[in-house]
Amino acid sequence: MKITLEWLKEKHACSEAVDAFSAHFTGGEADYQAVLDETARLNRMDWASWLLNAAGPINAELKIEGDLIAECGIAFAGRIIVTGRIQANFVIAGGDIEAGRGIKAGWGIEAGWGIKAGGGIEAGGGIEAGADYGIYAGLSIRVSQKVKYAVVIANTRPKYLLLGKFRKAK
């Protein structure tokens, strides 16, 4: 899918985002994922979330063997599957977010579908799964360690937290 300057204006994107798009994508159009990558690089969780809501998810998977660690945000139009841990300023996906170990975001975590982590899930802001999808923390933790490691930390208790103990962010 191509994102164009005209499409952004039709969807009533904010003027700051339209200006940023024009400055970065001088041809007036870009691949959907390239635009999401730029929102992540700019640490604009608000723009990434808006774009995913406006354009919708795609049927694609970002598969990483090991850890997915970014100095900025992570925004992907499809499903994110990582065998290790995920760590970034924010993590947003059009589909599921799955991590074999844990997920940690300085700001927030949003998924169009479910959120699953082998360990804990932590966000400085909110954690939100798609409508009618669950959040599961501690899928790979020994039962004796669940209290300590299967923890979901956020500003507010996520809706549909189905596995893991909630703790308010400090």
Give the containing element (helix H, strand E) for 110: strand 103-111
d(CA 33, CA 26): 16
**Closest C-alpha among 129, 146, 66, 135 to residue 100:** 66
Mean per-residue pLDDT of the chain = 96
pTM for the full predicted model: 0.93
Average pLDDT on 91-108 reads 96
User: For residue 170, what pLDDT band results from cuts at 50, 70 and 90?
Assistant: confident
146 SS3 class: helix
